[in-house]
Chains A and B, each alone.
Chain A
């Protein structure tokens, strides 16, 4: 999976590309852990180019959310497509991972 990193100063955007499954979940976890280790625990994950997520992908996002919160930051997700939204809805995880319209505005008003 291609993970693009965009530094917006106040927070960092990680833009994922492709299928978020067990095969790439460790990559996502590492990318988030690296940012947290660098003292950048405010992260917006841009899912615009993710067309499929499975339970392991969901696990990676939840693990990442916890890691950022433990470090005093937060993780927001943005621009998720229909399949991702559906999975979040079915698992009731949209209650902790609210989908923001776009990554750039994910931390607006907070």
Chain B
């Protein structure tokens, strides 16, 4: 079989490598793992995932080379990328093309080289996975296949990371960037994903009747949960002036229509605040983690009847109401917070932190705990404190 290799296009390569945003990025364990496996399988002292920039080669991962960067000129990997095929040089010192190469005649005195090109999504050749040795050696056909397999693995890790980075960036854009303009109130939220991307979502926006607040937690974690969370956010935001309960019912119906076969669901707390009166109307869909810390340090659990969204059970769903009075703090979190607070007295822990550190300090503490060792789930906390009126008495 003959494969037609497209001619090398250096401009396309440069554009592709810049689009990937991978140059000068930190080491990535998932790619380092492949280089370690390659070293183990082939028993060579040096392995590199080399990417080509304008006039340099930059190593996303390397073993035995000791440097992340080297000149591109005269580089073996530049040759492999231009050729667009597996290149094996059993003994460079015996090879007309390579015997006077500076990497062969000088440091590190290479003798053996084997590399296979890595491609970006559009097929642009951007670098190589390569094996190097100061001793001559040969690769049999099976070993060459293995090298190609490992290069394919590296390539998919590079592209997957790039997709995930895009998704993470998009998810952060979908979050509110500024607190709503609510004189007399302080509004803040924090979210920390268990992995890189979260199945939790929080949101707030103005409607004609006040400000709507949402916190929802899609079952599971990661990219799948994040996709559904983004959809749920949009669905709740549609027609912002329709009734709270209608918005939740419609989101429930849409989620069920989309995912009923997957056995997945979301819990949600959706509320509307009339800032002037402090009246808070809310619908809790199986979430049960909305609270008000009253100025007198007691907790009110905000409960309404309704199962999680997307389950497809015909069930009663109701809205309920409460008041946020001066000195009160309304808080809703995802259940990930329960994994990182004092299990013996979660509400006592939260109250202590809120009282001692204030809203922002408390959210910083939640984020710190969420990044700690015991966290296994996405953690999100949203807080609305009413700061107008008489100051709170009797700090405990």
Contact = CB atoms under 8 A, between A and B. Distances in A.
B288 A60 contact: no
A62 interface: yes
Interface in A24-53: 25, 29
B311 interface: yes
A87 to B, nearest CB: 9
Interface stretch (B87-95, B150-158, B258-266, B274-282): B258-266
Nearest to A63: B263
B308 interface: yes
Contact of A92 (B219, B220, B306, B312): B306
A58 B315 contact: no
Given A91-B286, A92-B305, A93-B286, A62 B311 contact: yes
A8 interface: no
B313 interface: yes
Most central of B217, B305, B311, B377 by chain A CB within 10 Å: B311
A17 B312 CA distance: 28
A13 to B, nearest CB: 21
A91 B219 CA distance: 12
A110 interface: no
Contacts of B289: 90
A91 B220 contact: no
B188 to A, nearest CB: 25
B267 interface: yes
Contacts of B377: 54
Given A62-B263, A91-B288, A55 B220 contact: yes
Contacts, number: 57
A58 B219 contact: yes
Interface in B355-392: 377
Interface residues of A, number: 19
Given A92-B307, A93-B308, A55 B315 contact: no
A93 to B, nearest CB: 6
Interface in A56-83: 56, 58-60, 62-64, 66
A29 B262 CA distance: 10
A25 B220 CA distance: 11
Contacts of A101: none
A96 B307 contact: yes
Interface string B231-269: 000000000000000000000000000001011110100
Interface in B131-167: none
Contacts of A93: 286, 307-308, 311
20 contacts: A54-B377, A55-B217, A55-B220, A55-B335, A58-B219, A59-B220, A60-B263, A62-B265, A62-B311, A66-B260, A66-B263, A66-B312, A91-B267, A91-B288, A92-B286, A92-B288, A92-B315, A95-B307, A96-B313, A96-B315
Closest 10 CB pairs of A and B: A63-B263, A91-B286, A90-B288, A55-B219, A59-B263, A92-B307, A59-B219, A92-B286, A56-B220, A59-B264
